[in-house]
Chains A and B, each alone.
Chain A
Amino acid sequence: MSGDPADLTIAEAAAALRSGALSAADLLAAVRRRAGATEAQLHAYLTLDVEGAERAAEAADAALSRGEDPGPLAGIPLAIKDNMCTRGIETTSGSRLLAGYRPPYDATVVGRLRAAGAVIVGKTNLDEFAMGSSTENSAYGPTRNPWDPDRVPGGSSGGSAAAVAVGSALGALGSDTGGSIRQPAALCGIVGLKPTYGLVSRYGLVAFASSLDQIGPFARTVEDAATLFEAICGHDPSDATSYRGVPPVVRPTLEAGPEGLRVGVIAELAGEGNEPAVLAAFGRTLEALEVAGAEVREVSLPSIPYALDAYYLIAPAECSANLARFDGVRYGRRLPGDTVEQMMAATRRDGFGPEVTRRILLGTYALSAGYYEAFYGRAQQVRTLVIEDFARAYGRVDVLVCPTSPTTAFAIGERTEDPLAMYLADVCTIPSNLVGGPGISLPVGRDGAGLPIGFQVLAPPLGEAVLLRAARAVEVLAGFAARPALATSEAR
């Protein structure tokens, strides 16, 4: 077959595997070659599961040669963010505290991908415990952007985004608490989907903020993201917050197009505060949607300016409670201490990096006696206002849109000294985590430096069908086909 198999979409690779034009072993070898050629610069992966991937590829080839149809993901090389448990394979969550931790079980999503015949290439880098927007907070060093290695890939799922963008995986899983799938997808020029809260099991995901966390896929096309979503969604009795109804059916309406689609532009997020190139690409996409028959109108969500502050109280508060489990008793590194409290305090001081420490302190403060009502309680009330604003808007439009990130990929080190500035850049992605509805980012253009620009679509909870239909329509209209320099051999 022509071209490098590492550049195939999941749909193309699945077809090639079925026609016999490609074997799962050759596909895995191509992805490994790409990783071998790019990892020294990118550092997308923390761990490669060489033997496990080979076994899975062999099993897929054996099933195909017997004439079986092992499903749409059989033999497809995928990457997993390193905050999802993989049995017997190191799972660090980007933290020194969990160095060497080998979970005794697979996360439900990992088990579902394995059962679907997927080939799990390895575990990808992330901001420690998924806290960050640049993947610079990893205890194992930053991941770099395949479009420009002097820039960040976004975060916290930066390793998964970089791997899919460069071709060292055909798809990947990430987790999104305040934008950690959508923002790196935007900065790396690929598709990133945060499903509705509760639609994808979080059993085996290292918890950050339990009322916000959601696992979702990265891919190079909307269709591939839909395929991965279908494989991982659905009720899981092991996750008490798992949605118990039937998940949305997305495939039949994927190609329904933009005609008649009611698109609301979020006034508070689609104007000043965004870089001119981001706004220009966003505006061009809206015009194309309108020409193609969508009804585009502006929608105001007055609580949006408060959503960020509410988020940066709620998320740290939940983080401080969740990360209490890292106490040096059951897993991970331990530092010595004369008493249990001294051992725990020394272990945690040594094991957590600055961003995680900052958020634990912030959350502990916001939950402490005398401040609970003023900070956490108030933030929860503001969350209600944000939910009501979105519900009103969805009474008039099918989907809401805005840029995914106000800027394209920024330079490594540019924002690390100013945590507040890093937080403020999450303004476009945070509201949908507070609301619980799905969101997706897809590339629609590039800025003057050639860096990709993301377009975000949001839908009401369980609205994945209309979300993916709208995203697919935008994908067709934008016709984004560029690949990062590192993905092409000339640049290496």
Chain B
Amino acid sequence: MPVPIDIAKVARLARLALTPDEMEAYGAQLGAILEHAASLQALDIQGVPPTAHPLPMLNALRPDEVEETLEREEVLAQAPDRDGPYFRVPPFMEDE
């Protein structure tokens, strides 16, 4: 059984403005992939610790010293829109 998915909600969470047709197509494909992944549900893995990272590593710390940074102009030159030394974006909230 393909897994039913609220694809509109997932698309909103992922910030993807999909058309209704696209949502239907992706929803069906994801359902098939998740159906295959259901094999994992059958495994008895109670008590097995999860692995987030393949090698044992602790936090990487370094002395808090001033270092060279990227050139601001070179960075801002890549921005789709800017205002002087700032990145410029549309309003965060709609007008009330």
Contact = CB atoms under 8 A, between A and B. Distances in A.
Contacts of A313: 37, 40
Interface of B: 5, 7, 9-18, 26, 29-30, 32-34, 36-37, 39-41, 43, 45, 48-55, 57, 59-60, 62, 70-71, 74-75, 77-81, 87, 89-94
A349 B79 contact: no
Nearest to A235: B60
A358 B43 contact: no
Contact of B57 (A241, A379, A420): A241
Interface string A358-377: 10111011001000001101
B15 A341 contact: yes
Given A320-B14, A360-B14, A312 B33 contact: yes
Contacts of A320: 14
B37 A309 contact: yes
B91 to A, nearest CB: 6
A342 B90 contact: yes
12 contacts: A101-B78, A197-B55, A309-B40, A329-B89, A348-B17, A375-B37, A377-B50, A378-B43, A380-B52, A384-B49, A385-B48, A434-B54
Given A348-B15, A349-B18, A379 B40 contact: yes
A337 to B, nearest CB: 6
A240 interface: yes
Interface of A: 101-105, 196-198, 211-212, 237, 240-244, 305-306, 309-310, 312-313, 320, 324, 327-334, 336-346, 348-349, 352, 357-358, 360-362, 364-365, 368, 374-375, 377-385, 387, 419-420, 423, 434-436, 461
A134 to B, nearest CB: 17
Nearest to B7: A361
Given A361-B16, A384-B48, A197 B80 contact: no
A382 B89 contact: no
Contact of B80 (A237, A328, A348, A383): A328
A345 B15 contact: yes
Given A346-B17, A357-B26, A312 B37 contact: yes
Top 3 A-B residue pairs of the complex, sorted by shortest distance between their CB atoms: A436-B54, A380-B50, A334-B80
A327 B92 CA distance: 13
A378 B15 contact: no
A420 B78 contact: no
A361 B30 contact: yes
A362 B33 contact: yes
Most chain-A CB neighbours within 10 Å: which of B15, B39, B52, B71? B15
Contacts of A378: 40-41, 43, 45
B32 A461 contact: no
B96 to A, nearest CB: 13
Contact of A384 (B39, B51, B87): B51
A242 B60 CA distance: 9
Nearest to B35: A420
B16 A340 contact: no
B29 to A, nearest CB: 6
Contacts of A435: 54
